[in-house]
């Protein structure tokens, strides 16, 4: 081995030894707590909002978003209390809170550098909490990255639009118009609400829908699993790749159309005037509430259907998937 190579090896070993000793000393001085490597100096900010507003727009990075509401007191005891936005986040993320033309705007201005994201074992979670007066608003628009979004029950909007990446979205507020939620890997949870039209879309995240009434319902996934129960709508459409679809007590007054690649489709006590289900290798199984005129096709899969020849049309096509349908 060359002399220069030996020297470099000795120097490298010495640096590793020095680093190890320094690490042990620092950890011992902090009682072996890893928080020193990842705990950011988050701070609370409170923005009072006195101006009236009917629409809400939020642009966030990684903060969790939640809502609270207090109704206007008939006796006027709460008239001197403003709505407010409470923020708990890194001081390097500046927030602009303003009301413009009746729109409450909360916008994060992220000034962090790449090295500010290096952290380990941090338990802090940035958050935005909106405490708003009243329960009825026109529109809610949220653009989120990695934070979660919770829209609680008790509020009502004419329309809600939420776009998120890895954050989960939970909506329990009723919508008189359109509800649109789109995520990448985040889970979408919808429960106990009514809306005119719902569009739910995710890639690898899951979708859970329960106790919902609407006119039109579109549910689109890639590999995520979809679970639906106690749903009443006029038209239902679902598209997916490998994600399974499990539906219980889902009734569409007019049409139900489902497309899957390798994902399985399970229907329990479901129905529609016209049903169309198409898969490649996914199985189709379950029960319907009323007789149908069945049109089924499977190249290599097993087919078991009721012998009924009245009612609406039920068309099921698979390549290699099995088809097993009964009447509940």
Give pLDDT, residue 180. Answer: 98
Q: Please write the tens of the pLDDT for every residue from 173-187.
A: 989 999 999 999 999
Average pLDDT, integer, range 64-72: 82
How confident is residue 21, by pLDDT bands cut at 50, 70 and 90?
A: low
Give pLDDT, residue 4. Answer: 61
Q: Look at the block and give the residue holding tokens 């006590």.
A: 269
190 CA to centre of own chain? 9
Residue spans of alpha helices (H) in 143-205: none
Phi, psi (degrees; rounded to nearest 5) at 116: -70, -15
Average pLDDT, integer, range 222-251: 95
- Contact (Cβ atoms closer than 8 angstroms) between residue 63 and residue 89: yes
Give the E-state strand segments of 183-302 in sequence order: 188-201, 207-220, 226-239, 245-259, 265-278, 284-288, 292-298
Here the tokens at position 13 are 């070993």
Q: Please write the tens of the pLDDT for every residue from 144-197.
A: 988 999 999 989 999 999 999 999 999 999 899 999 999 999 999 999 999 999
Instruction: Show Cβ contacts of residue 287 under 8 Å, excluding neighbours closer than 6 positions.
Output: 267, 268, 269, 270, 325, 326, 327, 328
Q: Please write the tens of the pLDDT for every residue from 95-109.
A: 999 999 999 999 988
For the ranges 37-46, 70-79, 262-271, 314-323, which has the lowest average pLDDT?
A: 70-79
Name the percent of the chain in helix, strand, coil, to the closest 5. Answer: 10, 55, 35
Give pLDDT, residue 8. Answer: 63
- Contact (Cβ atoms closer than 8 angstroms) between residue 40 and residue 63: no
Residue 271 CB-half CA count within 13 A: 14
Alpha-carbon gap, residue 151 to 190, rounded angstroms: 10
pTM: 0.82
Phi, psi (degrees; rounded to nearest 5) at 46: -125, 120
Region for residue 163 given its phi and psi (left: phi exceeds 0; alpha: psi -120 to 50; beta: otherwise) = beta
- Contact (Cβ atoms closer than 8 angstroms) between residue 122 and residue 40: yes
Instruction: Show Cβ contacts of residue 114 under 8 Å, excluding neighbours closer than 6 positions.
Output: none
């Amino acid at each position: 081995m060359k002399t220069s190579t030996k020297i470099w090896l000795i120097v490298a070993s010495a640096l590793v030894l020095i680093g190890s000793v320094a690490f042990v000393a620092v950890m011992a001085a902090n009682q072996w707590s890893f928080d020193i490597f990842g705990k950011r100096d988050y701070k609370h900010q409170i923005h009072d909002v006195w101006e009236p507003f009917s629409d809400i727009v939020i642009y966030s990075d990684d903060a969790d978003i939640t809502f609270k509401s207090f109704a206007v007191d008939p006796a006027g005891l709460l008239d001197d209390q403003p709505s407010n936005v409470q923020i708990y986040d890194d001081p390097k993320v500046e927030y602009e809170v303003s009301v413009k033309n009746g729109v409450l705007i909360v916008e994060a201005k992220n000034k962090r550098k790449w090295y500010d994201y290096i952290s380990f074992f941090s338990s802090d979670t940035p958050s935005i909490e909106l405490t708003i007066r009243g329960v009825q608003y026109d529109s809610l628009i949220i653009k989120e990255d990695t934070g979660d979004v919770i829209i609680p029950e008790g509020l009502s909007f004419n329309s809600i639009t939420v776009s998120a990446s890895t954050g989960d979205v939970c909506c329990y507020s009723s919508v008189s118009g359109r509800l649109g939620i789109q995520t990448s890997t985040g889970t979408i949870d919808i429960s106990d609400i009514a809306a005119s039209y719902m569009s739910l879309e995710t890639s690898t995240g899951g979708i859970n829908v329960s106790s919902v009434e609407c006119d039109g319902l579109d549910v689109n996934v890639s590999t995520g699993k979809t679970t639906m129960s106690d749903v009443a709508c006029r038209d239902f459409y679902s598209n997916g790749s490998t994600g399974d679809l499990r539906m219980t007590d889902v009734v569409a007054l007019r049409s139900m159309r489902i497309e899957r690649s390798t994902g399985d489709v399970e229907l329990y006590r479901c129905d529609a005037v016209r049903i169309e289900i198409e898969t490649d290798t996914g199985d189709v199984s379950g029960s319907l509430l009323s007789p149908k005129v069945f049109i089924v096709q499977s190249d290599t899969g097993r087919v078991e259907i009721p012998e009924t020849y009245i009612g609406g049309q039920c068309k099921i096509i698979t390549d290699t998937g099995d088809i097993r349908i009964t009447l509940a």
